[in-house]
Chain A
């Protein structure tokens, strides 16, 4: 069964304190991994797509990386406005629909 597991469930950082979020997956023949950011009461906002091991993508203070079994979302010198829930998702092995992880709730204190 395809599974996506994110850790930690919650992370509290001080402003400027860099860290990483993890997304591990068990699908055969990965066809892409998607990262989203979700603010409370809003729909997820698309951040990145990664397709192959070794690929990296950056956007402002965020950098996403991909290995054969997991992806990391690195947050460098975070600011309070980076506080949100970060979700990762992968296409199912047997179809085209996405399986989402439970998310990591990030809080950045000033």
Chain B
């Protein structure tokens, strides 16, 4: 069974630009969660989508947004990039709600903002 895939794997952007990251969950998984990981802050929850609806949202500014499609694939968008947005962005999928079922993570997208 194929695992969670994320594209692109690496990205370099300039301050003020916007970026879209993509995540394809494990087949049959309906929940997709997004996390930001930085050395100082650890894994920070961004949002979770289930059946195309946002179930939960973390404490991030409105510049961070996401969506989920009918095939469970998900995208997250960051607008007006700031230097502090440089991080590893991880996507995780699970059969159901993230707090009940184990999550399986993708390899991440390394975003560098210059």
A97 near B105 with CB under 8 A, answer no
Chain A CB within 8 A of B48 CB = yes
User: With the chains together, A87 CA to B110 CA distance in Å?
Assistant: 20
| A-B CB pair tally, cutoff 8 Å | 63
Chain B CB within 8 A of A78 CB = no
Q: Which residues of B contact A31 (CB under 8 A)?
A: 99-100
Chain B CB within 8 A of A54 CB = no
Q: Which residue of B lies closest to A34 (CB)?
A: B102
A43 near B4 with CB under 8 A, answer yes
| Chain A interface size, under 10 / 10 to 19 / 20 to 34 / 35 or more | 20 to 34
Q: Which residues of B contact A42 (CB under 8 A)?
A: 107-108
Q: Which residue of A lies closest to B48 (CB)?
A: A97
User: With the chains together, A56 CA to B5 CA distance in Å?
Assistant: 31
Among candidates B55, B58, B100, B106, residue contacting A43 with C-beta atoms closer than 8 Å: B106
Q: Which residue of A lies closest to B35 (CB)?
A: A100
Chain A CB within 8 A of B11 CB = no
* Interface residues in A9-36 (C-beta closer than 8 Å to B): 31-32, 34, 36
User: With the chains together, A98 CA to B94 CA distance in Å?
Assistant: 12
Q: Mark A75-105, 1 if CB is under 8 A from B, else 0.
A: 0000000000001010110011111111100
Q: Which residues of B contact A102 (CB under 8 A)?
A: 42
Chain B CB within 8 A of A45 CB = yes
Between B48, B90, B105, the greatest number of chain A beta carbons within 10 A of the residue's beta carbon is seen for B105
User: With the chains together, A36 CA to B43 CA distance in Å?
Assistant: 12
27 A-B pairs with C-beta separation under 8 A: A31-B100, A32-B99, A32-B100, A36-B105, A41-B110, A42-B107, A43-B4, A43-B105, A43-B106, A44-B90, A46-B102, A46-B104, A46-B105, A91-B98, A95-B99, A96-B48, A96-B97, A96-B99, A96-B100, A97-B48, A97-B56, A97-B58, A98-B33, A98-B98, A99-B45, A102-B42, A103-B42
